[in-house]
Amino acid sequence: MNSLRKVLGGGKHKPIITTSHFKVEKGWAYISGGFEYENGAPLEEKFQNGSGTNFSALLRREGKTWRVKRRLYHGDVVAPDFMRDFPQAPRAIFR
């Protein structure tokens, strides 16, 4: 989750991540959910202006580290985009 927090959080604030979907298989992970900052810290301007705080992310384990391969902020399901762009990722993690 720390790899994902670095990508979602900006500057000094670290986001609190709430997951609605989280599956891991064969060194791949697909996570979707929402995030907010602790203590009511303000979200960056891009989120205040309608981008929202929902996200999906595809991660890949490289050695001992998880790397975020792609993440999107959204209101819609984006698993088909990830499956198209990363065909080597196991399909089961998106269900």
Contacts 24+ apart (CB under 8 A), 24-28: 24/93, 25/90, 25/92, 25/93, 26/90, 27/60, 27/61, 28/58, 28/59, 28/60, 28/61, 28/86, 28/89, 28/90, 28/93
Quick: pLDDT tens for 4-36.
Answer: 766 666 555 667 778 888 999 999 999 888 877
Q: What does the pLDDT read at residue 33?
A: 84
pTM for the whole thing?
0.74
Number of domains in the chain: 1
**CATH, residue 39:** 3.10.450
Domain housing 49: 2-94
